[in-house]
Structure 1
């Protein structure tokens, strides 16, 4: 009686071809990196949303004195470094203040963007890398059939199962990467829009002064 083949995930990996193993390991490492980035960006996004809510409230109130920390204070401190010419008109002061705070907002938002190119790469290339491992493994399986002159499904099934595992791992890495990338892109765009709206309100109110605003506590 023929011994039953072990189809557990660990056994399929251990019995796979060297090239297929390398593909699986690369995709597993990519999947781990994707989840690390996803968790890190989720925490950053939560903090940025909280800071942006406070900044937006300050913008609607027309002042930033209540901002003690976070993104809003960082943006206001950038405006506080501006030097104003006493002879320049209010519109010029407002535009300069707005542009300076927009640049500070972009700097504050940059940590949310790190890692996104990697997510995009895994999301687009992961399935194809897994497919390469699958094609390679199936090719080896059919080569083994030709050498053994045995066309039984019991002979070819283990090799095909090992090969298909590479595609499964590729999809397991790619699907979260695509979903996370889309989520952070949309969330980042919304936060920038909210921040620029708050900056426009603050710049309009703060340009009344002859000098840049200095947040409380400085």
Structure 2
């Protein structure tokens, strides 16, 4: 079953869309917290997003740009706006289609089915990110995204952060981390690990994440 995230501010319209999706045997998930759409997206792992332009706080264009930083999942804009510029902006921001309100549900379902067929018949757009307290690690390009900052990580920095994020709150020993950095019969020694952690902490600090990696004396590191 395909999961579709509905980002719509109008409660009545939201209910109508989710109901129509269920009739077509989709799982419709309605966004509730409009300040944390990205988190809702990560948690629900949808195969398609229906995104209104007029939203509280930040508009649909903003959230489309944020979604495109971590995923290529198809996005259909839904809006009462009908100007040529709105449609151009929607496409330029990364949208795949645009449907105007009032919505003809048969047309919307036809667009959804067509877009899902085109997308998932030959591509796998499964979400490949790890998230911790608003920081998103993109597994495809080894980049950390936090607010408006994008941090490029080296291979070892990425592996260290990936381990810490996937074991958040758990103390990982230095030995365990070093074993994960083993590659091409070249073992990363204790000093190399220290250097990489120092560099990683410096990059996190530049993005306002300076206190995330903690040291447990005599044991190892953990992510707070």
Smaller-chain TM-score bracket: under 0.3
| Higher-RCO chain (CA-CA 8 Å, sequence separation at least 6) | 1
TM-score normalised by structure 2 residue count:
0.18
Task: Point out the structure with max Rg over C-alpha.
Answer: 1
Q: Larger % of helix: which? A: 1
Q: Which has the higher strand share?
A: 2
